[in-house]
């Protein structure tokens, strides 16, 4: 079936078996090549990639569609050989979305129910009861109301949190007050007790969360970043954590990953960090999304969730 093309998979080594098994189920007739074992480069029509090496795209003259293994595609844009003019499709699949909502809810609860403080008390052998604040008196502000932000907002709305959201375009989401653009960012921040960052990394959002933004939050606010490390100015965040302006930060993503062992975040008393696991793409459901898009491509229909390079996401 080489006439119909082959799919090149590049994924972390420990996940190759799960992905190849899922691809074999969803696309039984599609030859799968595991990078760097490309065989005939002219056969490669589709590529499903996570963090491609700098030269990965060299010689792939027949490539027609590039799929990102993750919702973010900044790892593809960072590749110097990424060809222009070939559609890039970001990952949208139900388990990736569900996992993010779980991560967000878990960390909102951490701060709303003061689990960070109880953990600190336990280490000190202190038995102390703090006031319990109702969810409807706790304001959660979500930056980025796309697939991840909306799914998280839906669950938080069911839990009665007071919800605000910030995005580029106005939203109508039950139980959420929508704020738009730089002109409404200040109003959004001033009311936010727990800030959830679920923006994509783009020229407009890189280092958006800086000292000035952090200062506009109420003193003692919390920050949850599952978008990308580079959305946040790290030295400014450390300064805000040290001063107590930000009372705690749950961080899943970083400028450099893995986070260097000497980085202050590792041992900062008010940082809870995880190694980019807010949510992981689930191969069986992800390959359904890929297979459906390949079918659409072959039938000449528009692909779903193509990155808009003009817009930056």
Catalytic residue among 123, 276, 304, 311: 276
**CB of 23 within 8 A of CB of 289?**
no
Determine the Cα–Cα distance for residues 78 and 109; give it in Å rounded to an integer.
35
Token representation of residue 155:
């669950």
Output the smallest distance, CB 61 to ligand NDP, in A. Answer: 29
**CB of 178 within 8 A of CB of 145?**
yes
∠ Cα 138 144 146 (to 5°): 115
Q: Report if residue 149 touches ligand NDP, rule: CB under 6 A.
A: yes
From 300, 294, 210, 282, select the one nearest 246 (Cα to Cα).
210
Determine the Cα–Cα distance for residues 223 and 229; give it in Å rounded to an integer.
12
- Helix pair angle (147-158, 94-112), 10° resolution: 50
Subset of 232-291 contacting ligand NDP (CB under 6 A): 252-253, 276, 278-279
Q: Report if residue 71 touches ligand OXD, rule: CB under 6 A.
A: yes
Active site residue 113: no
Q: Which of the stretches 55-63, 139-147, 260-268, 282-290 binds ligand NDP when contact is defined by CB under 6 A?
A: 139-147
Subset of 273-302 contacting ligand OXD (CB under 6 A): 281
- Of the candidates 70, 141, 165, 248, which one interacts with ligand OXD according to CB under 6 A? 70
Q: Which of the stretches 66-74, 79-87, 136-144, 232-240 binds ligand OXD when contact is defined by CB under 6 A?
A: 66-74
- Of the candidates 199, 209, 241, 250, which one interacts with ligand NDP according to CB under 6 A? 199
Q: Which does 313 bind (CB under 5 to 8 A by kind): ligand NDP, ligand OXD, none?
A: ligand NDP
Of the pair 29, 310, the CB lying nearest ligand NDP is at 310
Catalytic residue among 215, 228, 296, 311: 228
The torsion angle over the Cα atoms of residues 30, 32, 33 and 34, rounded to 10 degrees, is 160
Q: Tell me how far apart the terminal alpha carbons of the chain are, to the nearest angstrom.
A: 34
Q: Report if residue 198 touches ligand OXD, rule: CB under 6 A.
A: no
Subset of 22-51 contacting ligand NDP (CB under 6 A): none
Output the smallest distance, CB 204 to ligand OXD, in A. Answer: 18
Q: Report if residue 72 touches ligand OXD, rule: CB under 6 A.
A: yes
**CB of 216 within 8 A of CB of 160?**
no
Q: Which residues contact 211 (CB under 8 A, 6 or more apart)?
A: 233, 236, 239, 240
Place of tokens 């998280």: 152
Active site residue 276: yes
Q: Which of the stretches 5-13, 47-55, 118-126, 161-169 binds ligand NDP when contact is defined by CB under 6 A?
A: 161-169
- Of the candidates 145, 176, 189, 290, which one interacts with ligand NDP according to CB under 6 A? 145
Using CB atoms within 10 A of its CB, is residue 62 exposed (0-12), middle (13-18) or buried (19+)? middle
Binding residues (CB under 6 A) for ligand NDP: these are 70-72, 96, 100, 144-149, 167-169, 198-202, 204-205, 226-228, 252-253, 276, 278-279, 313
Residues engaged in binding ligand OXD (CB under 6 A): 70-72, 91, 96, 281
Active site residues: 228, 276
């Amino acid at each position: 079936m080489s006439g119909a093309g082959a799919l090149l998979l590049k994924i972390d080594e420990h996940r190759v078996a799960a992905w190849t098994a899922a691809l074999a189920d969803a696309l039984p007739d599609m030859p799968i090549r595991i990078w760097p074992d490309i065989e005939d480069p002219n056969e490669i029509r589709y590529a499903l990639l996570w963090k491609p090496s700098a030269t990965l795209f060299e010689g792939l003259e027949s490539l027609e569609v590039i799929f990102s293994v993750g919702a973010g595609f900044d790892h593809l844009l960072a590749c110097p050989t990424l060809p222009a003019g070939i559609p890039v499709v970001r990952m949208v699949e139900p388990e990736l979305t569900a996992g993010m909502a779980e991560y967000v809810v878990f960390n909102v609860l951490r701060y709303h129910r003061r689990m960070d403080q109880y953990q600190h008390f336990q280490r000190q052998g202190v038995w102390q009861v703090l006031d319990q604040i109702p969810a409807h008196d706790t304001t959660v502000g979500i930056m980025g109301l796309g697939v991840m932000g909306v799914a998280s907002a839906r669950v938080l709305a069911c839990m009665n949190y007071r919800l605000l959201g910030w995005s580029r375009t106005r939203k109508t989401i039950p139980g959420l007050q929508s704020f738009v653009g730089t002109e409404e960012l200040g109003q959004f921040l001033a009311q936010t007790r727990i800030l959830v960052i679920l923006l994509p990394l783009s020229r407009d959002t890189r280092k958006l969360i800086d000292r000035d933004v952090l200062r506009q939050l109420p003193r003692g606010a919390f920050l949850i970043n599952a978008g990308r490390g580079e959305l946040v100015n790290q030295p400014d965040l450390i300064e805000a954590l040290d001063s107590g302006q930000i009372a705690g930060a749950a961080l899943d993503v970083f400028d450099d990953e893995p986070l260097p062992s000497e980085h202050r975040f590792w041992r900062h008393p008010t940082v809870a960090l995880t190694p980019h696991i807010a949510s992981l793409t689930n191969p069986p459901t992800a390959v359904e999304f890929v297979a459906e898009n390949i079918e659409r491509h072959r039938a000449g229909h528009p692909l779903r969730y193509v990155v808009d390079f003009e817009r930056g996401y």
